[in-house]
Structure 1
Amino acid sequence: MHITLRQIEVFSEVLKSGSTTQASQVLALSQSAVSAALADLEGQLGVQLFDRVGKRLVVNEHGRLLYPRAVGLLEQATEIQQLFQEDNGAIRISASSTIGNYLLPAMMARYRRDFPRLPLELSVGNSQDVIHAVADFRVDVGLIEGPCHVSELVSEPWLEDELVVFAAPDAPILSGPITAESLGSAPWILRERGSGTREIVDYLLLSHLPQFELAMELGNSEAIKHAVRHGMGISCLSRRVIADQLEAGTLVELTLPFPRLSRTLYRIHHRQKHISKALSRFLSYCTEA
């Protein structure tokens, strides 16, 4: 059996109008096409749905049995069509920790104020976690803190971010001038390998120090901030991550003998990923922010 929605639609319209002529005008079909669709439906069901009374078609007991189910099917089909016309599906985002914890919440809140019914799903990990999630189609788009070198992914510059080296207010390094030597001999507390922040810090900063003492690796920025605040070492994170602590004076920015440390944040998606209207709209909110 191969009943089509078009046949169900023809049946419903013929029932409402009482003739194939009027149904054909409503459906923008020829009268012969309407008659053929109705005859095909009756043939598949093995019953007549209408009694022929002159030129009129009068619904019979079979047609009355079918009609409420036909209406239900057409309503469900309309709902499916509207679902994808309006792009109401959940947007799945994966972001590295700095972006997911400190940038995206405000962007998501702004988006939800304008589109309160559209669901958003956010997962947070390090940059490698995000890259794997995008490559495996587990999320629609990824936001990471460094460049992506995976060939099947499209990587686009998104935002600029400043990195800050910081210490506790009473840290020993503050007792003298900040030099490459004093930075090299200080204990460093850094993000784990695989983190976008760690990759950029290794490239922009640590490679220029005469020596380097890694005191600790921690898996999130909050833990690093607390460790530095308690005098366990110095670190380097996004200014966005420590802005409140710098303003409160619980952490102190170190003036470096190097150029300003900055990096580009990237947006990534799979080359074969369809960018829906809802996803494109959400990304525009992120870009405007």
Structure 2
Amino acid sequence: MALNFHQLHIFHTVAEKGSFSAAAAAMHMTQPAVTMQVQALEEHFGTKLLNRSTKKIELTESGRMLIPFARRSIELMQETDTEMARFTHKLEGRLRFGASNTIGEYVLPPLLVPFGRQHPDIAISLKVMNTTQILDEIARHTLNFGLVEAPVVHPDIISESVMQDELRLIVPAGHALAGRTSITLKEASAHPFVLREEGSGTRQVMEEEWKAKGMDPRSLQTVMELGSTGAVKSAVEAGLGITMLSPSSVKHELALGLLHAVPVADASFKRQFYSIRLKSTLLPIAAVAFLNFLRERQISESSEEGEE
């Protein structure tokens, strides 16, 4: 019997999940069907690939040798699908994914328009939610993937960087810092701050850089903590304090002169946005094309216009 990709994919999933039942659930197959395909693969190579003598499936020496080839075959199949779809321009289907607040509400909307022009036959279904909710829906196979503000460490999840962003100090019009070409962290810390809630990706990036420069973020005069970027923007615009936000989230306010972005000379608040997906699931061609589309664009390019 000839070797086929489907068997390699099933074998790779069983090895990752550690059981036939878990692999069957992940691939929407019956457990006997998964077992049969692995057995067929073992018959093809004439050797046992999995040790079933323990409660948890373990790879044999032959299985360990095969794993990297199975992984490469999966990656090659994804690349092949993407390149052929790009060549034939026949990408279609429904793309279901989730995104965290900043990405879903501010970063993606201006990017969805040009993507839609390139691929008019792809219907996009986007849910804006927190990372925990995104992970839950990915696990239940109701979302193809997610876009989040920090990498996810989970045995069943692959996190890959897709875009870069950089927080800037945001101040209201008429503020003492509004006309400055740059300031230092020490100067900034002398002013009242309005911040996102603890645990948010934006807050985490800000605090990590503060600590890296030997300063305690808890010493900041935090007058308000709010649960959304929109609320933070409104509070800063009203003059309640200054903040750290992505320029992409205040693009219109910057253009209208309601807010100003001030560069911080002695610190860099760069961060990555990540795609997250199940290791055991192949992304549909439309999803691969969309993620490649995002990687080809820099968020800063769409934000620089309002920073001057």
What is the CA-CA distance between 1:288 and the residue it aligns to? 2.8
Is the 1:206–1:212 Cα contact (8 Å) retained in structure 2?
no
Whether 1:203 aligns to 2:208 is yes
What is the CA-CA distance between 1:242 and the residue it aligns to? 1.9
For residues 156-188 of structure 1, give each alpha carbon's deviation from its aligned partner in whole angstroms, at most 9, with x where no partner exists.
111111110111133356699944444334222
- Whichever residue aligns with residue 288 of structure 1, its letter is E
- Whichever residue aligns with residue 127 of structure 2, its letter is S
Change over 3 Å in CA distance of 1:128–1:237 after alignment to 2: farther
Change over 3 Å in CA distance of 1:234–1:119 after alignment to 2: same
Q: Which of 194, 198, 202 pairs up with 1:189?
A: 194
For residues 42-89 of structure 1, give each alpha carbon's deviation from its aligned partner in whole angstroms, at most 9, with x where no partner exists.
xxxxxxxxxxxxxxxxxxxxxxxxxxxxxxxxxxxxxxxxxxxx8854
Q: Which of 233, 242, 254 pairs up with 1:234?
A: 242
Take 1:133 and 1:223, find their aligned partners in 2: how far apart are those partners?
Answer: 27
Is the 1:90–1:120 Cα contact (8 Å) retained in structure 2?
yes
Is the 2:178–2:261 Cα contact (8 Å) retained in structure 1?
no
Match of 1:213 in 2: 221
What is the CA-CA distance between 1:136 and the residue it aligns to? 4.2
Match of 1:280 in 2: 288
Is the 2:91–2:121 Cα contact (8 Å) retained in structure 1?
no
Q: What is the aligned-residue RMSD (CA, Å)? A: 2.7
What is the CA-CA distance between 1:149 and the residue it aligns to? 2.0
Aligned length: 204
What is the CA-CA distance between 1:275 and the residue it aligns to? 1.1
Match of 1:107 in 2: 111
- Whichever residue aligns with residue 94 of structure 1, its letter is G
Is the 2:94–2:123 Cα contact (8 Å) retained in structure 1?
yes
What is the CA-CA distance between 1:143 and the residue it aligns to? 0.8
- Whichever residue aligns with residue 293 of structure 2, its letter is Y
Change over 3 Å in CA distance of 1:117–1:196 after alignment to 2: same
Match of 1:130 in 2: 134
Per the alignment, in what secondary structure is the counterpart of residue 92 of structure 1? strand
Take 1:243 and 1:95, find their aligned partners in 2: how far apart are those partners?
Answer: 19
Structure 2: 5+ residue stretches without partners: 1-89, 298-308
Change over 3 Å in CA distance of 1:179–1:278 after alignment to 2: closer
1:100-179 matches, within 5 Å, as 100-171=104-175, 178-179=183-184
Take 2:287 and 2:255, find their aligned partners in 1: how far apart are those partners?
Answer: 35
Per the alignment, in what secondary structure is the counterpart of residue 233 of structure 1? coil
Change over 3 Å in CA distance of 1:166–1:87 after alignment to 2: closer
Take 1:139 and 1:279, find their aligned partners in 2: how far apart are those partners?
Answer: 11
Take 2:245 and 2:132, find their aligned partners in 1: how far apart are those partners?
Answer: 18
Change over 3 Å in CA distance of 1:218–1:152 after alignment to 2: same
Is the 1:92–1:121 Cα contact (8 Å) retained in structure 2?
yes
- Whichever residue aligns with residue 145 of structure 2, its letter is V
Match of 1:252 in 2: 260
Take 1:194 and 1:133, find their aligned partners in 2: how far apart are those partners?
Answer: 21
Range moving further from structure 2, 100-109 or 86-95: 86-95
- Whichever residue aligns with residue 199 of structure 1, its letter is Q
Take 2:132 and 2:188, find their aligned partners in 1: how far apart are those partners?
Answer: 28
For residues 231-265 of structure 1, give each alpha carbon's deviation from its aligned partner in whole angstroms, at most 9, with x where no partner exists.
11111111211233223321122342423321111
Range moving further from structure 2, 241-250 or 129-138: 129-138
* Greater Rg over alpha carbons, structure: 1
Structure 1: 5+ residue stretches without partners: 1-85
TM-score (ref. length: structure 1): 0.62
What is the CA-CA distance between 1:228 and the residue it aligns to? 0.3
- Whichever residue aligns with residue 278 of structure 1, its letter is A
Is the 2:185–2:267 Cα contact (8 Å) retained in structure 1?
no
For residues 185-244 of structure 1, give each alpha carbon's deviation from its aligned partner in whole angstroms, at most 9, with x where no partner exists.
422212223322122112123664352222222222122111101111111111211233
- Whichever residue aligns with residue 236 of structure 1, its letter is M
